[in-house]
Structure 1
Amino acid sequence: MEIKAKQLDSVNASAHIKIPSQELKNEVQNLAKKASKTLKIDGFRPGHVPVAVILKRYEKQLQNDAEQNLLKNALNNALKELKKDSKELVGEPYFEKFDKKDEEIDIEFILSFKPDLKLDDYEKYIPQYSEPKATKKEMDEKRKELLKTHASLEPIKGKRALKEGDFAKFDFEGFIDGKSFEGGKANDYVLEIGSKQFIPGFEEGMIGLKIGEEKDLNLSFPKEYPAQHLAGKEVVFKVKLHEIEELKIPELNEELLKKILPNEKEPNAELLEEKIEEQIKNEKLLKLVDEELKAKFADALIENYNFDLPKGIVEQETDMQFRSAWQNFSEEEKKELSQNREKAKEKRDSFKEEAQKSVKLTFIIDGLAKLRKIDINDQELIQAIYFEAYRNGINPKEHFENYKRQGALPAVKMALIEQKLFNDIFFFSKTNKKGEK
């Protein structure tokens, strides 16, 4: 086996390997001899299966295993020549050439190693921003929302009609083309009118009804309705109102303050206002981080930190972005790219610049996370995936297994670390509150 390895830059090295065909044959023969001592084949005593039988029956598998063994040896020898440890590798070797000839296998691949980053001065790239403020209107609305969670429902007095904000108890049944459908019927259902829980027009159509009255609501399911067999269909809902309840929002008193602020020794209205103000500010800051600051910070990091990128990782990211974009190409473009290798390569390479930025940011985020001791443990990862599943009405265990099968768990973990890192920087770093932008 002939090996030539050389360092290309601080994180990439190339290896040129030539494996003589005789060496490959010898390895196949060695594997066949070992297998003959352990394999059980009908008609032969255990441990006495002729090598020729093994070679004939398992030729393809033995060939693949032999190649893998020789490649592994070649990789280890290349690392020795480069004076590198396998623990320093990132990603899989990126093969630029794998040419099988009669006399030899000619291989060229790139080995990539983790960049050594110095990020101690990262704080100077945190974008400046004005600390969010809470307006009186926002404070009033948030206080009302809070009191609403402690409100009680009381039946209305008199015979007034149903209005927005009321809670209605009613029966309903839906009909499409005169036939009822599964899931379209309920008795004594309680609904807040104006909550938009039902399809457009349903809650609005009930406004004005009085207790005991019935009404037919002629509506249509939205075209984007999740249940495809109902999407866009015209429907008639027959409703009968049984009861109307009003939400009675309580007055803020000492007893209620104790419920709202259970962990405070001396709960009072002033402290509640401080908590409400802090919550509003944090919500605004979170929105500002997600919509503006995170992107600005990421762009500044990418622009100001320059280092060699692992070529194998960049190529893998380029491939992934190209595959992701493929589904959005027109059928005409897909056909052209499938038939023209040059154009396909040109199109694929057009994603490389974005791939480089993505890989660069990933290493920076990984470095900053270690610097700030940010991590996501297995339990947090599982909880995040399960929460995503619950939110989308998917079986959480199956959702987790799908991520696992696709090898996507590391990417999910990195996304969670990124989110946790940026929140830590913007919410807890004193250096980022620098006044007006």
Structure 2
Amino acid sequence: MQRLWKRELWRLAGLTAIGALIGWPFSAIGAGIAVALALQLAYQLHQLRALHEWLAQHPHDEPPSASGLWGELFDRLYRYQKGQRITQRRLRDTLSRIQESSEAMRDSVVMLDRHGDMEWWNSAAERMLGLKPALDRGQHITNLLRDPRFVDYFQARDYREPLTLSSPIDEQMILQFQITLYGDDERLVMARDITRLHRLEQMRRDFVANVSHELRTPLTVLSGYLETYGDMADQLPGRLGRGFEQMRSQTTRMQNLVNDLLLLSRLEIDQGGQDDTPIELTSLLDNIRRDAEALSNGHHRIDVEIDEPRRLVGSEKEIHSALSNLAFNAVRYAGDQSHIVLRWTHHTDGACLEVEDDGEGIDPHHIPRLTERFYRVDKGRSTATGGTGLGLAIVKHVLLRHDARLEISSHPGEGTVFRCVFPDTRLTDAEHDSCHQRQA
């Protein structure tokens, strides 16, 4: 390319010199140079016009014939256009394959632009969500999916967990929505039909609830008779008396298990939100501390710390159940002479109810599974302490019903912190509560 530029400059210089020589005999050197430059300009304009006509009218044809710098420019533009056409063809083929594969999916797929307007969707989305290409293209997604839970999920921009809702066109169809951010703040909405799994889960919940309910009556009868016979223990042989004591202990454990199963079933089935009231956490934590001290029987030091003046809005009965499970677990598993703290405080990401101990701690690889039902870090020790294996599962569901989350941090020998983090929307000032009560 550098050589072509030099050649053009030499051509221009030669043409100027020829013009000067032609004009010299007539004492018109300037006119001769001007004519030479005019011819050069006319040539450049002619090539520029040829370039414009080629790009505007026949861009896919061969370029105009030219030599020198213009010929090189035409060839480069032609090669660039050819490469662009190949790239565009490949992109179209790739996009076509992506759309074909999306069409073959059973899950619905909806592509949104950066404003949340729907650009494209597959046929599964038409069946599950009722989208119509002629009417809905370009509409905002919340104009079609108007459920407040989906609107909040969409606007929160926290898509780590999926959202389960009924289909907008069929309440019997249960869909699981998952949103993914990509590109220039664009979003991909996927919905999966989980109706069958939902029904199976509902059957499991109903089965557990029904069986647990049916077990209460025989256990109550059995417990009553064992208590009666226990009052006559001095009249029974020693070996038989020890057997009655074990039966009473195991019956009590079974009753606790049935009660926890019933509570967990109710938490899963009931949507909650009917008994949200401001909770006086000072008295609540004091009550839990006294219950934990009774369970500890002097083997632990248990304190309460209040750093957050605002109240928590929620179900006092459920919050009491969740914190009691955390406090009793600390008493059972932290080890003798441990220091346990029940704390109501505030962190950067929300208000926290914490149960902290300086006991034996938990190996971090157990932490992700602690909220599973009947999961035990040490099965032998957990059975001996009388736990049901459902405490942390109950805590998890109580927190979900209160828009909160459970954080666990622990290492062997360094103690454990169970932190229940609530959003600020779940807090209220005590002055506001008293003012509201006076107005009522």
The TM-score with structure 2 as length reference comes to: 0.17
Bigger CA radius of gyration:
2
Q: TM-score, normalised by structure 1?
A: 0.17
